[in-house]
Amino acid sequence: MSNLKNHSRRRFLAQSGLGLVAFAGMPGFLRAMEGMQGLHGMPKLTPNKASLNFKPDVEFDLFSRSSSVSILPGQQTRVQQYAALLKKGPKETIVDIPGSYLGPLIHLQKGQKVRINLHNKLAEPTVTHWHGLHVPANMDGHPMYVIDPGEILVYEFEVLNRAGMNIYHPHPHEATAKQVYNGLAGALFVHDEEEARLELPSGEYEIPIVIQDRLFDELNQLIYVRGMHDRMTGFYGDRILVNGFPDFKIDVASRAYRLRVLNGSTARIFKLGWDDGTPITVIGVDGGLLEKPEVKPYVMLAPGERLDVWADFSGRNEGSQLVMRSLPFSGVLPKMAERMMGGGMGMMHHNKLPVGSDYPIFTARVTKKVSDSPKLPSQLPKINWHPISATANPDKPVPIGISEGPMAMLLNGRPYKYNDIQDFERIKVNTIQLMEIFHAHGGHGTDSAAASGEHGAEKQSGGMGGMGMMGGMNHGDDDQKGGGQGMMGMGHRGGGMGMMGGMKHGDDDRKSGGQGMGVMMGMGGGMGMMMSMAHPIHLHGQQFQIVSRSVSGDEEADYATVREGFIESGLKDTVLVMPGEKVRIIKPFQDFKGLFMYHCHNLEHEDMGMMRDFLVE
Ligand code: C2O
Ligand code: CU
Ligand code: CU
């Protein structure tokens, strides 16, 4: 274990591109990094075994293993991959995707009792999480349950979710992104009677669309994080894969289809739209079907989010095609990174497929004319909404404060640490909680922090004491603007600065951190501005409702490029929070006690520590 730790520290320093000298005068910095390293204090538990009194309806072995697959023409690509072997239950439970590195599709029925035996055939620790499922804490794939190579971890749970599309993927401490990137991920569907009654398109008319981006070298091998900036912004490939395949095409008949879309990228955000301007008809999101279809000009889809799309090709001619694209938008990346990604400005790698540019995702070709098609239902199943008055804390939302800095992405001012539960992270079981996700830095943070009551603001700045450049967050706009302009004179957002401003007001740690960094960057600050970006915030456990979203004035131009792409009329487990945005949610914490994570589903951010636990008790 200590080997692993040292290795990851060395790698971290080497990749940071900042150099050791820069770190020398920065104790706060080093302490912050401590929070990102190793498995600190994470207990090593004996893997759970099958229990005699659990009588599964469905049982399968799930293998995490290394493998090679053909993705691009030529040489095969080394990947990590899930494979499953059904031992009990309906044979439709496991559906392989031939030739893909993606894990098999898993189909479960609400009410089924499921046993999954996870076999770690990798050369490193892993654990699997059922993203979207409401399962007991010890079945949720918390990093504390990682198993070593050769070990088997037994999961047993009853399917309590309503029908919907979920994800299974690894969740080992600080290695989630890399394992997902290497190929470990799959779609898990829950079905129920409400869904069946609607007779939505199924079988060959229901198509999973798992969208991911990858970067390959000349030998067709995957390239991953090349430097600190790849972690700060998240890692972006320049090839779009759907279900594991490049240039994905589907042949369709001229009728309605149900597309089950999942963004399985580690960081890339999509703005999905049809190339001919046909609106997108959405019938479901993360937590299953909406109450009625929504028709949108485009839909935003961040990592971890899902969409249930009604795609009707009726009336289209044989030989015609429709392309789903990612349409242009701006504002999800720090302004500077946005420019560098397109133009290439030293520190950042140029990307042929900048985030927010216009590019194809997949093509549907009409190859068969048919006269009959199912009709889009106008009513879908009812959702059990909770009013704010039903929450345990209508006046005091649980804060989820996002803070961004050059070396750390934090939630509520703290990097992930096992057993580091703050007061406001203790949640009483069987309560419904009002929560507020907001940016805890810059001019905008102030009012949100105030809104979240005592815990928000104080705990955050307290927590940032050791963070060096994370300081500087609660400064006036004037200060920040000065810094932002000084720095390369870019970024209309003026939100910037952070760091140098932070020195004036920070404690000693921050001072040294700020100066060190300022000198090192040789650009007089500007980190806050540099880092303000969008984060897909994911909460484990039950699905939540989105109560309200609001965005501050300076961000409005960018926000206008995405605003119509959000869907609030369904249950969610992941929500994209744009720069300057504040999102209120209502989330139940029923049935299960224990640790449930909340984190950024930009998986590079998650692995940098942008993750915390709620202790439900
Ligand atoms: Cu899909 Cu904790 O994550
Ligand atoms: Cu999850
Ligand atoms: Cu993030």
Measured by CA distance, the residue closest to atom 1 of ligand 1 is 131
Phi, psi at 579, each rounded to 5°: -55, 135
Cα 309 from Cα 290, distance rounded (Å): 11
Cα 576 from Cα 574, distance rounded (Å): 7
- Measured from the Cα of 597, ligand 1's closest atom is 2
The amino acid occupying position 111 is G
What is the reported pLDDT for 196?
98
What is the reported pLDDT for 354?
95
Find the 407 Cα to ligand 1 centroid distance in Å: 22
Q: Which of 303, 299, 353, 358 is nearest to 327 (CA)?
A: 358
DSSP state of 217: -
Ligand nearest to the CA of 598: 1
Alpha-carbon torsion 353, 210, 225, 486, what sign?
positive
What is the reported pLDDT for 44?
82
pTM, 2 dp: 0.83
Q: Decide: 361 and 242 in contact? Cβ < 8 Å.
A: yes
Q: pLDDT tens digits, residue range 411-453?
A: 999 999 999 999 999 999 999 999 999 999 643 333 333 333 3
What is the reported pLDDT for 2?
37
3-state secondary structure of 218: coil
Q: Which of 148, 61, 144, 72 is nearest to 103 (CA)?
A: 61
- Report, as ranges of residue numbers, the positions in the chain whose pLDDT lies below 70: 1-40, 343-348, 441-530
Question: What are the DSSP calls for 95-130, one per residue?
Answer: E--TT-SSPPEEEEETT-EEEEEEEEESSS-B-EEE
Phi, psi at 78, each rounded to 5°: -75, 130
3-state secondary structure of 299: strand
DSSP state of 459: I
3-state secondary structure of 611: strand
What is the reported pLDDT for 39?
55
Find the 129 Cα to ligand 1 centroid distance in Å: 7
What is the reported pLDDT for 337?
82
| Angle between helical axes of 477-486 and 442-451 (0-180°, round to 10) | 150
Q: pLDDT tens digits, residue range 313-351?
A: 999 999 999 999 999 999 999 887 887 777 654 556 788
Task: Please give the distance of CA 327 from its chain centroid, rounded to a whole number.
Answer: 20
Please give all residues whose beta carbon lies within 6 A of any atom in ligand 1, as ranges.
129, 131, 167, 169, 171, 304, 538, 540, 597, 599, 601
What is the reported pLDDT for 348?
63
